[in-house]
Structure 1
Amino acid sequence: MEIKRIEKEQAWQLRHEVMWPERELAYVILEDDDAGVHYGLFVQERLVSVVSLFIDGTEAQFRKFATRVSEQGKGYGSQLLKHMLQEAEEACVQRIFCNARSNKAAFYRKFGLVETETTFTKGGKQYVIMEKSMDNSRREAR
């Protein structure tokens, strides 16, 4: 298993396949993808999971987190999410958030994210904004 930065185009294909296969590829392309840092988890050189991180000062949002359906439940997504959260912390992010599908909220709670009051529907799916305050005290002590 290897986690590394990837090109946005690599993320697009897996996003499309996992998240919105019934839509056109353009549906998973974000206007600000050029501003993001895209991470991929590879198993034997096969891209299995992707996530995109967008940092704006001391806040960050991660978006389009997707793991191949055949590889879900094996811990790959958890490893990628831990890696991305660590990268955000090292970048001195103080708050990180995501638009989580409501049925996946329990997964994100395992990583310290909590639901906010904000919910919405997109493409017929329910979402809740989840957030986490980052602990930068270790970095500040250096």
Structure 2
Amino acid sequence: MSPLIQIEQIFPSLTWRIRHEAMYPELPFDHVKLPDDFDGIHFGLYADHKLTGVVSLFQKGDVYQFRKLAVLPEAQKSGYGSQLMEYILDFCKIQKATRLWCNARVNAKEFYYKFGFHETEKIFYKDGYDFVVMEKEISD
């Protein structure tokens, strides 16, 4: 039987454990806390009532950035990241956003292509990973 999936807005601090386990387990826990976490909107995906995936959205006018899309390692490849992505795309449409962007790990570009994101010229290296800025125009 497939798990019951719920996505809801969560308090910023609930994102930190999953960010840490999924993205930067080798770095100190505080590394995953963003200075502007309390200015963002955070969503959690619950699989059978267990917080399993998270994503954070930050708004500047009608442009949104998502950060720290993370799914617990044992639950990756279950479609949870895609469900979170669809959720924030719908959320951005409702909010009348014009563009959604992220700093994507280069090794995850294919994931974002599936949702219509394209690469920009902006690339950088941070915390042991190569990143590229990817973006998508949002329309009704």
State whether TM-score is above 0.5. yes
Partner of 2:83: 79
Partner of 1:124: 128
Partner of 2:56: 52
Q: Distance in 2 between matches of 1:12 and 1:88?
A: 23
**Moved segments of 4+, more than 6 Å:** none
- Provide structure 2 residue ranges, at least 5 long, that are not aligned to the other structure: none
Alpha-carbon shift at residue 26 of structure 1 (Å) = 1.2
Aligned length: 136
The correspondence of residues 1-142 of structure 1 with structure 2, limited to 5 A, is 1-136=5-140
Q: Note the alpha carbon deviations across 1:14-70, whole angstroms, 9 max, x for none.
A: 101111111111111111101100000001111111000001111110001101111
TM-score normalised to the size of structure 1?
Answer: 0.94
Q: Distance in 1 between matches of 2:27 and 2:128?
A: 12
Alpha-carbon shift at residue 94 of structure 1 (Å) = 0.2
SS of residue matched to 2:26 = coil
Q: Distance in 2 between matches of 1:27 and 1:12?
A: 9
Q: Is the 8 A contact 2:52 2:71 kept in 1?
A: yes
Alpha-carbon shift at residue 74 of structure 1 (Å) = 1.1
- Percent of aligned pairs with the same amino acid: 43
Q: CA RMSD in A?
A: 0.7
Q: Distance in 2 between matches of 1:117 and 1:56?
A: 21
SS of residue matched to 2:122 = strand
SS of residue matched to 2:78 = coil
- Provide structure 1 residue ranges, at least 5 long, that are not aligned to the other structure: 137-142
